[in-house]
Amino acid sequence: MPLPAPDTDRHVNPLLPGRQAARLLAAAVLVLAALATGCSPDPADADLRDRPGSISSARTPAAPGPDHAGPQDDSSTLDLVASSHTDPASPWVVVNKPNPLDPSGFEPELTTVRGYLVQPVLVDDLTALLAAAADDDVHLTLRSAYRSYDYQAEVYDGWVRQLGHERADQVSAHPGHSEHQTGLALDLGSSSRPECDFEACFADTTEGRWVAAHASDFGFLLRYTEQNTAVTGFAPEGWHVRYVGRELAAYMRNHEITTLEEVFDVPGGTDYP
Ligand SMILES: [Zn+2]
């Protein structure tokens, strides 16, 4: 199935300085050229389908969800230097093709949720998200979380062998450039249509629609969308969420900014250094 072409006009935030807008337009052109090469294969995470399944655990009581928390009126302003976007341990760190983790072999503090390794900072919000979804009779699964530098190298190399460098770069990050190495990124799955896990059709599942509508209420961004492909440098992944905390997620929602690159004015796009 061909990928929808990115709507490049929507990538240019009117608030962006001209230099950044020009950079994003250039990135959009590159992505359009890359997409013209053919159908998108399974995404970067697809080779993780055979990973161990989730470990069931007692569900904690539901935390206030988006329907119960009331409006977030304080989300229009935020100190955007309150946390670093370059420190690999920061929940605001920007990791993309131009910006590797520094050091590239960074290893975060980790704990487990349903058998998957994640940073402790996101456990409460992830638990609340999963419980709120369940309250709505939406049963999300976890499919992937932390990946080490070495494991990401294996993942990427596998895609290169299968697709070649050009197409592998559309769907898989080089080691040191993956959000999964931060322990802040998760790939969610569908219990109603598990055949859509790591596939474009996840976005159309009950679970995918719930995630798109509610993830930001719990501090998670839907990181790679059809609309922001030129900025992020990756094909859309409706299952990949990135924890940034509730304050930043609310700020971005309030300002209709969908990428960390734009909120912190950090280069994105498809070019590695
Ligand atoms: Zn992912």
Residue with tokens 């230099």: 19
The ranges assigned to domains in the chain are 8-263
- Cα 196 to ligand 1 centre (Å): 14
E-strand stretches of the chain: 111-113, 116-118, 140-144, 185-190, 220-224, 237-243
Q: How far is the CA of 44 from the centre of ligand 1 (A)?
A: 7
Residue-level pLDDT at 171: 87
Architecture of the domain made up of 8-263:
2-Layer Sandwich (3.30)
Q: Which of 271, 263, 248, 197 is nearest to 78 (CA)?
A: 248
**Per-residue pLDDT tens digits for 41-52:** 334 443 333 333
Q: Which pLDDT belongs to residue 74? A: 60
The stretches in the chain having pLDDT less than 50 are 1-72
Angle at 203 between CA 176 and CA 48, to 5 degrees: 40
Q: Ligand 1 centroid vs 64 CA: distance in angstroms? A: 26
Helices (H), the chain: 18-35, 123-135, 149-163, 165-171, 206-214, 229-232, 246-254, 260-263
Ligand 1 is a single-atom ion; what residues have CB below 5 A from it?
Answer: 45, 187, 240
What integer pLDDT is reported at residue 6 of this predicted model? Answer: 30
This prediction's pTM:
0.74
pLDDT digits (tens, 9 = 90+) for 116-173: 999 999 999 999 999 999 999 999 999 999 999 999 999 999 999 999 999 999 889 9
Both tokens assigned to 10: 């929507």
